[in-house]
Amino acid sequence: MTRAARGALAALLALLVLAIAVPPMAIADPLAIGDVVGARLVAPMAHDAAGVLHPLGTDGFGRDVLMRMLLAARISLAVGIGGSLLATLVGIVVGAMSGWWRGVVDRTAMAVCDALLAIPRLILLLLCAALWRPGAATVVVVLALTGWMSVARLVRAEVMAVRPRPFVEGARAAGVSDWRTLWRHVLPNALGPAIVALTLGVGNAILLESGLAFLGLGIQPPTPSWGNMIAGGRELIVTAPWVALAPGLALIATVLACTVLGDALRDALAGENVRTLGERP
Amino acid sequence: MRALIQRGVESLLLFWLVVSLTFLLAHLAPGDAADLLVSPSASGEEVARLRRTLGLDASLPEQYARWVGGVLRGDLGDSFAQREPVTRVLARALPVSLGLGGASLALTFVVGVSVGLYQAAQRGRWPDRILGIAGIAVFAAPSFWLALALVALFTTGASWWGFPGWLRLPAFGVRSPASTTAGWGAALEVARHAILPVTVLASIGAAGMARYARGIAIDLVGSDWVRTARAKGVQERRVLGRHVLANAAPPLIVLFALALPGVVAGSVFVEGVFAWPGMGRAMLSAIAARDYPVVMGATLVYAALVILANTLADMTLHLMDPRRR
C-alpha cells in the first residue's frame, strides 16, 4: 500500500471516529435551535453572545457548523457506503448471471444496461428521485438503481474470462450445481474489479447524494447531510459564506480520500478497466 | 458503409429503449398527474374528467403507444406548469445550454489534454504529483460547491480584497439587469457572464480528462514503435508530432464522448446556481413543480445528446481506422 493510500485510509477512519464520538459530547444539541438572536451567523473562530467558541461559525439558526458537519458525516458516509454497496451487489448478481448463462439473460441485461448508461447518471438520478418521496432509504435505492451497470459489465467480463478455465470445467464435470460453481469457484476470481468499483463508488455516491440534497431531493432537513447543509447556506453565500463552504470542504476531503484509496486498490488488484471519468453533480 | 449503417440502427434502438425506460419510470411512480393537478377539494368526478382529458384512463399499452408515437412525431405533450408544449419549453432552453456546454467542453478538452501531456512529460516529478493531487481534489468537488465558492469570491471577496474593476465578474444571470446593449456589446456582456459558469464546468471536466490524457500519453510514449522511431534517429519533436499524436487521436475521440455526460450533468447545477435559463434549470424547476412531461422530455433530450455523441465518436473511429477502410 502506498503512503498516499495509507494516509487516505487513516483520514477516513479518523472522520468515522470523530463523527461517531464527538456529537454526543457537544454542549448544545446540534439540531436544536436555541438563542437565535445571540448565536446566529457567528463568524468562524468567534464567540457568540453566551461566550461559546464556534470554530467554524454558526448558521442562520445559530447552530454550530462544525458540530452539524460531524453529524452530517454520519449520514453522508452511511448513504455513500450503503448506496455503493447495494449498487455493487446488484451489479455482481446481474453481471454473474449474464456472464454465466449468456443467451437471452445476457442480451436482456446488457440492453437494459446500455439504455440506462445512455441517460447521464445524474439525470437518471434526478428523474428517479423526483418520482419517489425523498429520504435516506430512497436515496440509497436510487443510487443502487442508477449505479449497478458498470459493475455488472466488469463482473460479466471477468466471469466470461474465468468460465472456460480448467478448474471451472472440473467443478462442473464433478457434478457441482451451477449456483454453487458460480458462487464458490467463479465469483471469487471475478471480484477484484468489483472491489475497486465499490471503493471508487463510495466517493461518487457521497457526491451524488450531496447533489440530490442540494436540490431538496435527498436527505431532508433538519437531519443534516453535507449536501443539504450546502443548500441551506446557499442564500447566505454573500453574507456568511462559511455556512455553505465549510461542509463542502469536508465532503471534498472525504471524496478525495475515497478516490486515492480506490486508485491504490486498482493498482493492487489490476482492475485496469474500471472507469472513473464519471459525471459529477 | 454497412458497419456505419448498423451502428446507426443500434443507436436508434438504444434511443427507443430509453424512451420506453422513461415511460416505465414515470408509471412506476406512486400517483399520477391527475392527483397532482386537481385541487384537494375536487370531487371524484372532476378527477375522473381530468384523467380522461389527459389520456390517463387508457390502458398502459395504449398510453405507451401514444407516448412513443408522440416522440416519433416530435410531440412530447404539454407542460403542466406552463400550459404550453414541452418542445417549446425545451427549445427555448436548449440554445443556452448548448452554448454553455459547448464552450465548457471545448475548454475541458484543450486544458485537460494539455495538462495531461505536461504531466506525462514530467512523469513522477513534483509538477506531475502536484497537478495529480490538485486534479483529484477538483474532481472531488461538487460543481455547485465550486460555483458557490466562486460567487462568494466575486461578491464578498471582491470587495474584501478590493478586486480591480476588470476582475469584478458578474456572478448571476446571462445579462446584467436592465441592460440595453445590443450587437457586439451584448455578445461581450454574455461572454463576461459566462466566465464563471464555464470555469466551474471546464475545471471539473479538465481535472477528469487530464488523468486519462496522462495515462494515454504514457502508454503511447512507452510503446514499441516509439522506441523504434527513436532508435532510427527520428527527431524527438517529429516522434511526438507524427508518431505519438497520430496514434493518440482515437483515444482522444473516445475521451471527448466520455466527457460529454459529465458536462451535461454539471450544467444542471451550474445553471441553477448562476441563474442561467437553460435546460438544467428547466429540468430543476420542472422537478420542483412536479411537471413530469417536461422532466421526461428533458431526460430524452439529454439521452439523445449522449447517444449522438457516442455514435459520432464510433463512426469517426471507424472512418479513421485504415484497417477497416
A84 pLDDT band, cuts 50/70/90, is very high
Q: Give buried/exposed letters for A108-128 (b at 16+ CB in 10 A, else e).
A: ebbebbbbbbbbbbbbbbbbb
**pLDDT, mean of residues B121-130:** 86
Q: B283 in contact with A at a CB cutoff of 8 Å?
A: yes
| SS3 at position B81 | coil
Would you state the cell numbers that stand for residue A54, as one nine-digit string? Answer: 464556534
> CA A146, CA A136: separation in Å to the nearest integer?
16
Strand partners of residue A53 = A47
pLDDT in tens, A239-280: 888 888 888 899 999 998 988 888 888 777 755 554 444 555
Distance in angstroms (rounded) separating the CA atoms of residues B218 and B235: 18
Question: Does the distance separating the beta carbons of A241 and B152 come in below 8 Å?
Answer: yes
> What value does the mean pLDDT take over residues B115-125?
85
> Do the strands A46-47 and A53-54 form a parallel or antiparallel pair, or are they unpaired?
antiparallel
Model pTM score: 0.82
Longest dimension (CA), chain B: 87
Q: Tell whether the model's pLDDT for residue A213 goes beyond 80.
A: yes
Q: Are A270 and A158 in contact (CB under 8 A)?
A: no
Considering only the beta carbons, identify the residue of B14, B20, B295 that sits closest to A130.
B295
What length does chain B have? 325
Q: In terms of CA atoms, which chain A residue is nearest residue B290?
A: A130
pLDDT over threshold 60, residue B223: yes
Q: Which three cell numbers stand for residue B323?
A: 484497417
- As to burial, measured by CB atoms within 10 angstroms (0-12 exposed, 13-18 middle, 19+ buried), residue A180 is exposed
Rg (chain B; Cα; Å): 24
Comparing CB atoms, the residue among A115, A121, A210 nearest residue B17 is A115
Range from A29-43, B16-30, B223-237 carrying the lowest mean pLDDT? A29-43
Rounded to an integer, what distance in angstroms lies between the CA atom of residue B277 and that of residue B270? 11
Q: Is B312 left (phi over 0), alpha (psi -120 to 50) or beta?
A: alpha
Nearest-CA distance A208 → chain B (Å)? 8
- Tell whether B28 is within 8 A of chain A (Cβ): yes
Residue recorded with cell 448558521 = A59
Identify which of B303, B256, B267 has the alpha carbon closest to the alpha carbon of residue B108: B256
SS3 A46: strand
Residue A240's contacts (CB-CB under 8 Å, 6 or more residues apart) are A41, A43, A57, A59, A60, A233
CA atoms within a 13 Å half-sphere pointing along the CA-CB vector of A185 = 22
Q: Report the chain A residue with the minimal C-alpha distance to residue B211.
A: A277
Going by C-alpha positions, the residue among B173, B205, B189, B177 that lies closest to residue B103 is B205
DSSP 8-state assignment for residue B223: S
B36 vs A: CB within 8 A: no
**Mutual angle of helices B126-139 and A242-269, in 10-degree steps:** 120
Nearest neighbour of A127 by CB, restricted to B139, B265, B295: B295
CATH of domain A65-279: 1.10.3720.10
Whether the CB-CB separation of A57 and A41 falls below 8 Å is answered with: yes
Question: Which amino acid is it at B110?
Answer: V
pLDDT at position B163: 74
pLDDT score of A36 more than 70: no
Residue B289 gets which letter from DSSP?
Answer: T
**Best mutation target, B138, B139, B145, to test chain A (most A CBs within 10 A):** B145
Look at the block and give the residue holding cell 390517463: B56
d(CA A204, CA A196): 12
Start-to-end Cα distance in chain B: 9
Distance CA A163, CA A186 (A): 7
Would you say residue A50 has pLDDT above 90?
A: no
Q: Which tens digit of pLDDT belongs to each residue from B245-303?
A: 777 778 878 877 777 777 777 888 888 888 888 888 888 888 877 778 888 888 888 88
**B286, B73 Cβ separation under 8 angstroms:** no
Of A33-42, A263-272, B84-93, the least confident: A33-42
> Quick one: CA dihedral B7, B13, B14, B16, positive or negative?
positive
Q: Which residues contact B274 (CB under 8 A, 6 or more apart)?
A: B147, B151, B171, B172, B173, B193, B196, B197
A-contacting residues in B 106-145 (Cβ below 8 Å): 136-137, 139-145
Question: Any alpha helices (H) in B162-244, and if so which ranges?
Answer: 184-221, 224-231, 236-238
| Domain residue ranges in chain A | 65-279
Q: A58 phi and psi, to 5 degrees?
A: -125, 165
pLDDT digits (tens, 9 = 90+) for A107-148: 888 888 888 877 778 888 888 877 777 778 888 988 888 888
Considering only A194-203, A268-277, B33-42, B130-139, which range has the smallest mean pLDDT? A268-277
Residue A51: all three cell numbers together: 461566550
Taking the C-alpha atoms of residue B104 and residue A219, their distance in angstroms, rounded to an integer, is 30
Contacts of B158 in chain A (CB under 8 A): none
Chain A contact present for B274, CB below 8 A: no
Q: Cis bond leading into A55, ω under 30°?
A: no
Q: Do B269 and A211 touch (CB under 8 A)?
A: yes
Mean of all residue pLDDT scores within chain A = 81
Matching residue, cell 447543509? A229
Summarised one tens digit per residue, pLDDT across range B195-205 is 888 988 899 88
pLDDT at B79: 80
Asked if B268 and A122 come within 8 Å (Cβ–Cβ), the reply is yes
Residue A110, all three cell numbers: 446488457
A207-to-A56, A142, B207, B248 alpha-carbon distances in Å: 22, 14, 16, 31
C-alpha span between B283 and B296 (Å, rounded): 9
Of the candidates A260, A261, A228, the residue with the CA atom closest to the CA atom of residue A247: A228
SS3 assignment, position A54: strand
Residue of A65, A59, A123 lying closest to B304 (CA atoms): A123
Q: What's the average model confidence in pLDDT over B202-219?
A: 85
Average pLDDT value for residue range B65-88: 83
Question: Cell triple for residue A162?
Answer: 474465468
pLDDT score, position A275: 47
Report the pLDDT value the prediction gives residue A89, as an integer from 0 to 100. Answer: 92
Give chain B's domains with CATH numbers.
Answer: 95-280 (1.10.3720.10)
Banded pLDDT at B180 (limits 50, 70, 90)? low
The amino acid sitting at B210 is A
From B255, B290, B299, residue closest to A123, measured CB to CB: B299
Q: Which chain B residue lies closest to A250 (C-alpha atoms)?
A: B141
Residues B201, B108: contact at Cβ < 8 Å? Answer: yes
What interface predicted TM-score (ipTM) does this complex get?
0.82
pLDDT tens for each residue of B25-50: 877 766 666 666 666 666 777 777 77
More confident residue, A93 or A27: A93
